[in-house]
Amino acid sequence: MYPNAGEDDCVGNVGEHGLHITLKDDGHNNWFFYLPRTCAHCTYPACLASCPRKAIYKRPEDGIVLIDQSRCKGYGECVRACPYKKSMYNPHTRISEKCVGCYPAVEEGKQPMCVQNCIGRIRIMGFINPPWPGKMRKNNPIDYLVHEKKIALPYYPQLGLEPNIYYIPPIHANRDYLTQMFGPRVDEAIENYKNLKNDVVTQGLLVLMGATDRIIHSFDVKNGIAYAYDDKGMEIVNVPIKEPLAERIAYDSSIGSIRVNTP
Ligand code: SF4
Ligand code: SF4
């Protein structure tokens, strides 16, 4: 059982003249975006509720949802129950498998591999707090993006599982489509995102994404520098919001020659 078969794949034959997409104002609203999807480690996981073997559990310490591989008998109920199609039956092992939230890394205070390795530096992993006063922390990166700035939303919230992956929605895609995917708050999220160009705090948080393999428990922005701190308040990394420009003079007087970038 591969629940996403045919959805995330490119299909069809490449014809004699190749494939192309034309973006022009011909009345057809062309748009696309890529949505990386992993298990959302839902607050109310349908996979967990569906398992007759009670093989699935949610860890109280970090919220990661795991399948106990020794209890699973491969009935596939979790595969059918997960509306995000994130549990998969492995015909070789004959049991179900899913994202493990990289719990060995998380236990060491590190972010999951898909976050660490994202070359676009668009991902951050952390721990969200409830939104009410006294619980949420504005200096917690996840609370800040979700509760304070309200620019990150869960996908298909109407399914009721409270998925714990939040997306900053794309601004150019079809708004009706985005509304059914991210819910009615998508307009507010996109407007807030568009207003970030003068918001140095959020810019600072965005440059901290991908700047460290460690979990950022709090952050601060001072004098154009973004600082990330661990759970003990120790600094992990600091990054300038504006990347410094290094200009190399082409003529190197020490060797009397012009340096070029080609060998
Ligand atoms: S996304 Fe699916 S597999 Fe992951 S916790 Fe939620 S219901 Fe379970
Ligand atoms: S890298 Fe880790 S957290 Fe990311 S999808 Fe894979 S198992 Fe899940």
Say if residue 246's pLDDT is above 80.
yes
Nearest to 121 by CA among 202, 206, 245, 201: 206
Query: Phi and psi (nearest 5°) for 78?
Result: -65, -35
The pLDDT of residue 22: 63
Nearest CA to ligand 2 atom 6: 99
Say if residue 207's pLDDT is above 70.
yes
Determine whether the shortest distance from the Cβ of 102 to ligand 2 is under 6 A. Answer: yes
Nearest CA to ligand 2 atom 7: 99
The pLDDT of residue 20: 65
pTM: 0.85
Determine whether the shortest distance from the Cβ of 118 to ligand 2 is under 6 A. Answer: no
Determine whether the shortest distance from the Cβ of 38 to ligand 2 is under 6 A. Answer: yes
Cα gap 174→185, rounded to integer Å: 15
Say if residue 42's pLDDT is above 80.
yes
CA-angle at 44, arms to 166 and 131, nearest 5°? 50
Give me ligand 1 centre to Cα 114, in Å: 17
Which atom of ligand 2 lies at the shortest distance from residue 115's CA?
Answer: 4
The pLDDT of residue 262: 62
Give me ligand 2 centre to Cα 37, in Å: 10
Indicate the fold that domain 46-101 takes in CATH: Alpha-Beta Plaits (3.30.70)
Give me ligand 1 centre to Cα 42, in Å: 6
211 torsion bin: left (phi>0), alpha (psi -120 to 50), beta (else):
alpha
Q: Which residue has the higher pLDDT, 249 or 56?
A: 56
